[in-house]
A = this chain, B = another copy of it.
């Protein structure tokens, strides 16, 4: 198969060596192919990427933090300066609106994230230096010494793109080269970003092999690569099925997989909150669930509301808002097919349709959909009724009392988030505490009285959660410097002379790095040893 769209391999833009197929992006609004043909890579392309990634890893490990920070900052500037072209490409390939989404929200977020990564690199804030002067031991987090395979999702063409998002920024910040697999739904966007990254690498004087890009390869090849011990780690954001297949392949080889998978993001509405401002909450819920056609990992997919008047009012108002909305464009035929299957699965398990439930035309559209089920029924078939429906769909669970809400909290799988809405007069507070105690071990981020969408990039963020929402309950995928530590190894130096140590572990600390020395955080120097 031939395609004129080059891969970025071993530092050069070059044609695929063994494309097994070609593919094109689609305009999801019309369901028609657009743009050039891109290659689907085979084993030879991947082998070349792995070999070059090994070489780049050794070079990049030895690069100075200043160079890495320069690259991240230069690349961020280049992206910010290319907003018009990037947003045109991304809009055509994803149908996400240019404004506000792509230009005012997602690109600034992406740029800001790269700048925060640069800052974390300059400050060495991700390396957590720990020094025990008496024992002669000095430890810090350090590069893996191997490339990281980053596989991007469909739903953030910029902010989670394999060549620009948080996984990319994190892996590079820890001085590991990235082998990126772009998502096939937005290849031209990805290529454009990778070109800017490639230039920025040259400007910063980093190895050109620091970033390699393949547009697509099939699942079977992905699983073979995942089991390759030349990889230091894999970062994946996408469906539970694909992510777990990748993990199953990588696990026996000891390759860590940081996968962000599915999440229902349950929202519990307490009686006081509904009595006080049920209408506002219905508005917040409808906006959150329909934002970006509901294609967010933090979409509120499950809402637990009490029976009775205030609960009924909330459901009525939410139903009106959902019922008035036009069919919404999804990213692809695949997303539409999976959404239809999920809605069918929920119906088969006993959920009833309040509104929506069908596709629309032209292109790949689905009508915003509300479903409902009784608490008893949910508890009777909680596994089937926790199917994620990726799109503008949510399941309302109507509960008879607080005991039933607590019982539901106890059967929930691991999720990224849970939210509890409570009233302002304190009457809900005891319920809040009981629910929070049940939900806390099941989620990464526990939210008070707002919807889960809108993930702030912050050092205190946790965009992560217990299995199966992610594959590591210890780590966040968003927020510097914590996200960087996923791609780092703990390195200890035992009785090593000062001039043979990494700079940040030496006695003198001219960079003012925060270090934990003999139990105290300090930026001070260490008195030279006798």
Q: Chain A: residues with CB nearer than 8 A to chain B?
A: 57-58, 61-62, 125, 130-132, 135, 137-139, 141-146, 229, 247-248, 251-252, 254-256, 417, 429, 432-433, 436-437, 440-442, 444-450, 456, 458-462, 464, 466-468, 471-476, 482, 485, 488-497, 500, 514, 516, 519, 521
Name the one of B143, B440, B492, B500 contacting A145, with C-beta atoms under 8 angstroms.
Answer: B440
The minimal Cβ–Cβ distance linking A530 to chain B, given in whole angstroms, is: 15
CA distance A380 to B248 in the complex (A): 32
Q: Is the interface of A mostly helix, strand, loop or mixed?
A: mixed
CA distance A131 to B494 in the complex (A): 33
Name the one of B141, B444, B448, B500 contacting A436, with C-beta atoms under 8 angstroms.
Answer: B500
With A444-B492, A496-B448 in contact, do A130 and B471 touch (Cβ < 8 Å)?
no
- The reply to whether A490 and B471 form a contact with Cβ atoms under 8 Å apart is no
Copies of this protein chain in the complex: 2
- The reply to whether B467 and A519 form a contact with Cβ atoms under 8 Å apart is no
* Most chain B CB inside 10 Å of its own CB: which residue of A458, A461, A467: A458
A138 CB contacts on chain B under 8 angstroms: 460
- The reply to whether B468 and A490 form a contact with Cβ atoms under 8 Å apart is no
CA distance A481 to B130 in the complex (A): 11
The minimal Cβ–Cβ distance linking A451 to chain B, given in whole angstroms, is: 11
A441 CB contacts on chain B under 8 angstroms: 57, 61, 143-146, 489
With A446-B494, A475-B490 in contact, do A437 and B500 touch (Cβ < 8 Å)?
no
- The reply to whether B252 and A447 form a contact with Cβ atoms under 8 Å apart is no
A497 CB contacts on chain B under 8 angstroms: 448
A417 CB contacts on chain B under 8 angstroms: 494
- The reply to whether B462 and A492 form a contact with Cβ atoms under 8 Å apart is yes
- Nearest 3 A/B pairs, CB to CB: A145-B441, A254-B467, A462-B492
- The reply to whether B130 and A459 form a contact with Cβ atoms under 8 Å apart is yes
CA distance A456 to B130 in the complex (A): 14
CA distance A491 to B494 in the complex (A): 33
